[in-house]
Structure 1
Amino acid sequence: MEKHITPYFGLLPLQAITTKKLDDFYNYKLGMGLSSKTIREFHNLLRNCI
């Protein structure tokens, strides 16, 4: 989380993270070469937080 999610979203409150922002984050990470499995893990983690 500290390596990927926090640097991208910064101090943005969880309530302010929209579907569009999540899609942008996932696409950004896919563009960096991360696997779709890793993106799913990010999604599951964020889903449990929100």
Structure 2
Amino acid sequence: MTRCTGINSINEDIKRKRWKWLGHTLIRQKTRYTHVALKLNPEMESMRQEK
């Protein structure tokens, strides 16, 4: 049905926008907050602090 109408499903639209944002973020400087936030792993950080 979506092919006939030319309208994407909401899930496909969200996935496309996330990939677009990720590509935009990875192009930016590595010191930008968005780039640094991609590499954070809060669960691992909390595990290190508990030891």
Flag the structure with more relative contact order, 1 or 2, with Cα contacts below 8 A and sequence separation at least 6.
1
Larger Rg: 2
**What's the TM-score once normalised by structure 2's chain length?**
0.35
Output the TM-score relative to the length of structure 1: 0.36
Greater per-residue helix proportion: 2
